[in-house]
Amino acid sequence: MERGLAAIERTGCAACHEIPGIDWPEGRLGPSLRGFDDIGLIAGAVPNTPENLAAFVRNAPAVKPGSTMPAMPLSEEESRDVAAYLYGLDDE
Ligand code: HEC
């Protein structure tokens, strides 16, 4: 969880997304990542599984061609931590 949050802060996801656990900035360019567990498809394109989510947060255009979210500088391990953090948000 904490490593995921650290990676999210380092790469600046919140510039474009509202993310619980981060007060500022609360970007509006991308969708809110609150209640992310409940959606069926990531970015309306791929099934919402831990593997797909990790791949998407690392390199969205590779997972969803034409996605407006840019690839992010995350290692494979960090992208899994980020996915775990996002899935954990509903427990709060
Ligand atoms: C430059 C702005 C920008 C940054 C930075 C950014 N995103 Fe995104 N993100 C977007 C946009 C725009 C979309 C919608 C993409 C689409 O529909 O193809 C998106 C979509 C998503 C989705 C899918 C949401 C859904 O409801 O299906 C997730 C999850 C996500 N981003 C996580 C992250 C994470 C984690 C980071 C940091 C590692 C991050 N984003 C950084 C702009 C951004």
**pLDDT score at 92:** 47
Which pLDDT score is estimated for 90?
A: 61
Ligand 1 centroid to Cα of residue 57, in Å, is 7
Beta carbon of 14 within 6 Å of any ligand 1 atom: no
Gap between the Cα atoms of 56 and 26, Å rounded: 20
pLDDT in tens, 11-61: 999 999 999 988 888 889 899 998 887 889 999 999 999 999 999 999 999
Cα–Cα distance for residue pair 76/81, rounded to 1 Å: 9
Q: Each residue of 63-74: pLDDT tens digit?
A: 999 999 999 999
Ligand 1 centroid – CA 16 distance (Å)? 7
Distance (Å, rounded) from C-alpha 8 to C-alpha 68? Answer: 18
Among residues 50, 47, 46, the alpha carbon closest in space to that of 79 is found at 50
